[in-house]
Amino acid sequence: MRASASARWRSGARPRSRWHDRRARKERPVRPGNCANPNGRPRKTRSADATILSEVYAPVAISEGGRRRRVSKLAANMKQIANQGASGDLRAAKVAVDMAMKVASRAVVTPAPPALAEADEAIVARFLERVRLCQQQEEVPDAPPAEL
């Protein structure tokens, strides 16, 4: 009588070929101790946009004032353009000014508060009148409370 495939593997005997025994394939498709997928699932490929952004924000070492610092490539590039523009390079100065104007135009502008309706204005007026009366009472402590 033949021993099962798993018993033969435990005893150290090897089958004649890798997939020789049909019962071994049914019972256990991969031998114990072996990994069917040793490298795991492949990583998701990144889009071009993600690749560009990761490279732009990658850190780079710069020396400034005798000290080394790590900043993003984008920050180092902007610093270099600004410094070149300040030293007299007209093209770099134009690029720096254009970028500054673009950023300034996108700055958050707080909108004016909406106008109050007539009913809301009446409520605010009554509230302010009550505040004025309370302030007057604090100035003159002997006065009886005014009715509203």
pLDDT for 16 equals 58
Segment 54-59 mean pLDDT: 94
Whether the CB-CB separation of 31 and 9 falls below 8 Å is answered with: yes
Of the CA atoms within 13 Å of residue 9, those in its CB half-sphere come to 18
Q: What is the pLDDT of residue 140?
A: 72
Work out the pLDDT band at 27, boundaries 50, 70, 90.
low
- Could you tell me where the DSSP H helices lie in 1-148? 5-11, 22-27, 48-56, 73-86, 90-105, 118-139
- Predicted local distance difference test score (pLDDT) of residue 55: 93
Asked if pLDDT for residue 4 goes beyond 70, the answer is no
Mean pLDDT of the region 74-94: 94
- Percentage, residues of the chain above pLDDT 90: 45
Q: Is the pTM of this model over 0.75?
A: no
